Structure 1
């Protein structure tokens, strides 16, 4: 049972990255904004977090730096698409390309750097339980915080007035504007909050998940996180479940290799992306279901004067 416990532990760890980033993108899309720049934001945040830990030795400061980098890039994106009305999809792709290039250039000097030895986290009394201890109770606190973020977002979106306003901006910005709500500012705050969560996910990758810096280390996780929001039909709880599903598929390749399953490594590497495509194809077969759950104004510009 030990290999299965280790697979579960690795699944939770890998799913945490995808879940945090997907929850950030979900906030964006609930406000009616599509940000295709998650990959670039996560790369820049990964570099910011790694560099901060190298110079300060504090993982938590690294998380803060990653969130700041993600929020800053998201703010630039938000100004362009919300106030200057640039195309959301083209601007997001440009942000992703910029993040990849900038992180590779600025991070060249950090490739050989190493981080201080990490503290081994464990919940006292539970970490020593057979099977369950190794599977669930020896994780970094961010793994558990991820679940808390998802629950907090559910409460915010469906139990608070601010969450109702945010969803109304994504459903009908014209009606929200007519009621006196500052639609553009609300959308910018949502974009920055989403960017901060993408930044947190990126910093987690470079400081905890794989504590090093190499060019392109996010390796498509930003795109998978973007697909997860559609896979989850814009529901935080489903995002969490979907992230762990994709995390499990990602880690399965390593565990199959470890137990000697004779499958070409290239095939195992492509499994997460094949799973992403298959899931999106299956969901697309029911467009009515997507329309019912999708924010009505997603991807559409808003002109206050119209």
Structure 2
């Protein structure tokens, strides 16, 4: 396999001149450029990516950090980021962090040493102080990390209130909430939306809020206990669709009919929400658009050195399915 030295010898120039021609960085006259390009073609020279990154200070790579690759929400986000980065000539690296601070910092440090061009980060545990050590552009996705860091999110608070208002509209009288991760910005916003809708109700009780930590099993166990202790609960807003599916399983284990005894609304709009039985009513996020927008924002920062802190907030929409539909239909008669 030909090397850059072989090209330089063939063209009778220095390796620095070959690099200038290849990277269009610095001056090389027309005759020199012609000889270098002819040498590259004749020798079928393929530049080494590592050498190119050392020379240019860039790798052509973008990394996406997600907390839980087993949650279908994140592969759907990743697909959008990968599509957009590839379309713009970048390679894509996916890092699963388990929302562990040490693991996230290790990825950030190791990839910067490899001249990564930028990061898209989904995190509930990184702080603004953690971001100060970054030497490359970064965008927060799904959750805000720092007010000084560009971000792409949805209207979590008002979307959550819409979910609870929907449960009220179909006749639910005691509505509970299965909350996400304690320190996640989006989980906190969704809980605030729930409280906006119920805190003035005379039936409201703090026991109607349980944590599912954005996981199926934890949500199922928490809801089984809550429903056993509070059998009058007839509606549940789950902070994501994975927990919503856990609620459906908890209801089935207790012999509660969905939606006649218990109506359920999730949040996300992942494919799982349509395939569970009964199909889950949910607040759908424009997942693909969110990932694509985050990639666009990051690429713009990389290629223009634009340090403007941009934020993008998408709206969510109610997708009514079987977990509330029958109850709503009964109410209209």
TM over 0.5: no
Q: Which has the higher helix share?
A: 1
User: Which TM-score tier does this pair reach, normalised by the shorter chain?
Assistant: under 0.3
Q: Name the TM-score, length of structure 1 as normaliser.
A: 0.24
Largest Rg, 1 or 2: 2
